[in-house]
Amino acid sequence: MVSSAVTATCYGPAAQVEISVKDLAQLSGLRGQYPVVWVNVDVLEEDTIGWVGEAFGIHRLALRAVFEASQRPKVEQFDDVLFIVARMTTCTDRLEIEQLSIFLGPGFVLTFQERPGDCFDQVRNLIRREGSRLRTTGADYLAYALLDSVIDSYFPLLELYDERLDDLEREAFVSPDAATISRIHDVKRELLVVRRAAWPHREVVNSLLLEGTPFDRETRIYLRDCYQRAVQIIDLLENYREIAASLTEGYLSTVSNKLNEVMKLLTVFMAIFVPLSFIASLYGMNFRPEISPLNMPETVWYYGYPFALGIMATVAGGLLYYFRRRGWL
């Protein structure tokens, strides 16, 4: 890959070159020399976007949309140029979504990214390989291939969320802590971001399948496949959201169960001592046997003290047995 802000990849069945482009003149010279010219811009710079757009006669409103990097994925037709806005993941471990603007015109494809780094390495490799389908087809197939890469880039991201949900599931049901709910909330919030980016792709690919778009019959077969995958991403996202919702309930229930178990054990523990303490304080009362033979006669028995302890042990044992039998312990 040539490292520069503007890269032109020109190819046909016979030849293929990758050129780092510096100005309008150089770019205008390339047009028409090769069956397909793909110009990729890696930077959101007004000047650069301006002269690249000028070289291919792009509508000013479309170029304005390239800058507004929070556009919703969409398709627009400007004369003979098809303008596609997509949102691609950065193919890394983090949730980072950037806007990709694709212009498909006769014999050329322009792509504008927000920053360097994309999911197109496989496409580039196929262009370099002589005899690949990409080399022998037109610009419409290249546009399809790029859009396809964008949509496929969501699958690894979704797998990450699948793993995170699996981890959270274990966490929520086995060892929940106070931060678990906040982690579930983070996943929910991120899934909303992914959904907002991915959802309109279905509509985008569907629009491309309509009559009047510059895709030939063969490429439409591929696009239909692409459409199915866009739908699949939406299905998965909905599933993840439902799983996250169910996880929240599971977490709340598990936390509550764990705490309640502790409170129940502590309360049972205290409840066992309550009658024992009462018995002890009974014998601490100042009724002296000297005054009346009815006054706590145990206190003058030889085995009075062991007798009192025995009563306490019996009460404690009885309660333990009862609580255990009720399943409270």
Q: Structure tokens of 189? A: 């919030």
Binding mask 73-102 for its own copies (x = CB under 8 A): -x-x-x------------------------
**Should residue 3 be labelled a site residue for its own copies when binding is judged by CB under 8 A?**
no
**Should residue 269 be labelled a site residue for its own copies when binding is judged by CB under 8 A?**
yes
Exactly one of 4, 248, 311, 315 binds its own copies (CB under 8 A); that residue is 248
Please choose, out of 7-15, 26-34, 206-214, 241-249, the segment that lies near its own copies by the rule CB under 8 A. Answer: 241-249
- Give the strand order in the sheet containing 6-11: 16-20, 6-11, 36-41, 108-113, 97-105, 81-89, 74-78
**Should residue 296 be labelled a site residue for its own copies when binding is judged by CB under 8 A?**
yes
Distance in Å, CB of 91 to its own copies, minimum: 19
Residue type, position 40, single letter: N
HSE of 169 in the Cβ direction (CA atoms, 13 Å)? 12
Exactly one of 182, 211, 212, 325 binds its own copies (CB under 8 A); that residue is 182
Contact present, 235 and 158 (Cβ < 8 Å): no
**Should residue 209 be labelled a site residue for its own copies when binding is judged by CB under 8 A?**
no
Q: Structure tokens of 259? A: 């705490």
Distance in Å, CB of 304 to its own copies, minimum: 6
When the beta carbons of 34 and 227 are compared against its own copies, the nearer one is: 227
Exactly one of 239, 310, 314, 318 binds its own copies (CB under 8 A); that residue is 239
Distance in Å, CB of 66 to its own copies, minimum: 12
What is the Cα 132 distance to its own chain's centre?
34
Q: 16 - beta bridge partners? A: 11
Exactly one of 67, 275, 311, 315 binds its own copies (CB under 8 A); that residue is 275
Contact present, 226 and 159 (Cβ < 8 Å): no
Binding mask 14-53 for its own copies (x = CB under 8 A): ----------------------------------------
**Should residue 252 be labelled a site residue for its own copies when binding is judged by CB under 8 A?**
yes
